[in-house]
Amino acid sequence: MGSPMKVRARNDGGTTEVKILMSHPMETGRRKNEKGDLIPALFIQQVSVQHQGKVVLSAQWGPAISANPFLSFKFRGGAKGETVKVTWVDNKGDSRTDEALIA
């Protein structure tokens, strides 16, 4: 399981803005180490965000995303005190899930 994500969610009336900073190396599989050997690919493939059990964002990523990716988006609805749950799964099957209260 990866390091904890930093998740912030803020409601400004009708919409909720979610900001996520994920801690992940995101290796493409094309870089070489000091010895000249290829570093194996390791990247987040799927990201899902749920609010009240309903998916509000679903994304499929590839190796072109930078290390420690930042994601920001808005969705309609959400109220202060409710939670958003963020889950990612990488190409090796490792996953991480974190939650945040909407402020």
The string of pLDDT tens digits covering residues 25-62 is 999 999 999 999 999 999 999 999 999 999 999 999 99
The CATH number linked to 88 is: 2.60.40.10
Does 86 map to a domain?
Answer: yes
Identify the domain containing residue 60 by its residue range.
Answer: 6-101
**Mean pLDDT, rounded, of the chain:** 96
Question: What is the number of structural domains in the chain?
Answer: 1
Q: Is 8 within 8 Å of 83 (Cβ atoms)? A: no
Asked if residue 69 is part of any domain, the answer here is: yes
Write down the pLDDT at residue 1.
Answer: 62
Instruction: For residue 17, give the amino acid letter.
Output: E
Is 31 a domain residue?
A: yes
pLDDT at 22: 97
Return d(Cα 7, Cα 87) in angstroms, integer. Answer: 11
Q: Is there a contact between 90 and 21 (Cβ–Cβ < 8 Å)? A: no
In a domain, 78, yes or no: yes
- 54 found inside a domain: yes
